[in-house]
Amino acid sequence: MNYSGIQDENVAKGFFNKTCAECGKNIRQRDTIAMNMKFNGRTTDRLYCKKCFKKHMNWCEEQWQWHLKAFNRQDCVLFTNERDIIDENSPLK
């Protein structure tokens, strides 16, 4: 299986299709999984959906977006999107 952008397949398998530790909602969004791993460690067994994570961190949507952009700018592997990897001379950009 291809886990886009995550080099360690064991890490990817361990965190895809998890449920929120607080509300039980399925967590499938890559950014949500990445945010959990970034703040709680890659080996955490407690993941939160975006809504519960923001509540737990006492964040609003703007703070969530700010952190996503900051981690993308830092080239954090957890947050790197395929669109960010496209060659700047590519016609796909």
pLDDT digit string, tens, across residues 11-61: 666 556 689 999 999 998 888 988 998 899 888 889 999 999 999 999 999
Angle of helix 30-40 versus helix 50-57 axis, rounded to 10: 30
**Cβ neighbours of 55 (radius 10 Å):** 13
What does the pLDDT look like over 57-78, one tens digit per residue? 999 999 999 999 888 888 777 7
The structure tokens 């590519």 sit at 90
For 7, the token pair is 């080099």
Residue 13: the pLDDT is: 61
Instruction: Give just the sign of the alpha carbon dihedral 30, 34, 83, 64.
Output: positive
Residue 20: the pLDDT is: 95
Residue 85: the pLDDT is: 43
**Cβ neighbours of 32 (radius 10 Å):** 23
- CB neighbour class for 83 (10 Å; exposed up to 12, middle 13-18, buried from 19): exposed
Residue 88: the pLDDT is: 47
Q: Within 13 Å, how many C-alpha atoms sit on residue 17's CB side?
A: 2
DSSP H or E stretch at residue 16 = none
